[in-house]
Structure 1
Amino acid sequence: MKKIFSILLCSLLIFTIVGCGSSAKKYTAEEYGNKLKDAGVAIENLEVTTNDNDKNQLLGRPNQYTSKVTFTNGSIEVFANKEDATNRKEYIDNIGKKMPLVAEYNYVNGVALLRLDKKLNPDDAKKYEDAFMKIK
């Protein structure tokens, strides 16, 4: 009887843990770009990054983006987890603090990082941020 009870208890625990996992859909960078476009922000000249055209050579590397797109005003990078996205944002922000000429707007939403050109005025950058943060 103890054995059956233990098995049932373990099964319940496993189902509880699995049920607590993230229910948010994971999008590719291209899907994020299309969602921003659908929200009415300017996403022009969208280009999907591949191993052949990845200037940073980070696509698929450990702790780096799993997909990326570039567009006229910036890029979107998607990571395997939020920690990697946040670490990438902090890394880029630190470079911008040390070299203001390369500073940019950066926003993390879950596993995605939106990077915008600093040439955008703050009001336009806010429009991108608002639309990006609504993607769930």
Structure 2
Amino acid sequence: MRRTTLAFLAAGFLAATAACSSSTTASSPTAPTTAAAAGTAATPAAAPPTAAPDAATVAAKIKKAVPTVTTTKNITAADDPNKLLGRPQQYTSATTLVDSRIDSGTGSVDRGGVVEVFATADDAKARAAYIEAIGKAQPAFAEYDFVHGPVLVRVAKALTPTQAAEYDKAAS
């Protein structure tokens, strides 16, 4: 019993510290409110809601900017390897990317990358933090993750940091 309690406490501590650590994820800067932009103390104007892009749109943008991305595949609920598509607080669309610089397994982030789009930016950040914690605990699962609002771009660790940055830049 004591050993189990200690294990749960240790796991909780690790999860809390991983969530609070600085990460390599990038997020787009927030736009200043109307008051901040005008330099006054006025109440910020409500911005019209914008729809999040779907993963296929972001993947197409990346494919256009990164010439070594040769193939994209839209993921469906039936073939989602993570079984997360459409689940609460999980991605609403996902598209895999195949990069010709990588020789790896078919259709996974290891082959190039994947774009996951969430209902909210907080959901995307939570998923990135979860993946980062796994990568820290098990370096074999490490990858590059870039968050842009509700979009999470996951890139294979087989690419160099400079190559992975191409994905980040193309998605922003």
| TM-score normalised by L of structure 1 | 0.79
CA deviations 1:97-121 (Å, max 9, x no partner) are: 0000110000000110000000001
Contact 1:41–1:128 under 8 Å retained in 2:
no
- Code of the residue aligned with 2:145 in structure 1: it is N
Residue 68 (str. 1) matches residue 68 (str. 2): no
Q: RMSD value over aligned CA atoms?
A: 1.9
Q: Which amino acid aligns with 1:107?
A: F
Letter in 2 for 1:100: P
Q: 1: CA distance between counterparts of 2:124 and 2:67?
A: 22
Give 3-state SS (helix, strand or coil) of 1:96's partner: helix
Partner amino acid for 2:68? A
| Greater C-alpha Rg | 1
Other-structure match for 2:21: none
For 2:69, the equivalent position in structure 1 comes to: 43
Q: Which secondary structure does the structure 1 equivalent of 2:63 belong to?
A: helix
Q: 1:11-44, CA deviations, whole angstroms, 9 ceiling, x for partnerless residues?
A: xxxxx99842444x52110000111122244322
Q: Identity of aligned pairs, percent?
A: 38
State whether structure 2 residue 144 is matched by structure 1 residue 105.
yes
Letter in 2 for 1:59: L
How does the TM-score come out when normalised to structure 2?
Answer: 0.63
Which residue in the other structure is 1:122 paired with? 161
State the number of aligned residues: 117
Q: Note if 1:20 corresponds to 2:47.
A: yes
Query: Aligned partners of 1:54 and 1:68: how far apart in 2?
Result: 9
3-state SS, counterpart of residue 89 of structure 2: coil
Letter in 1 for 2:144: Y
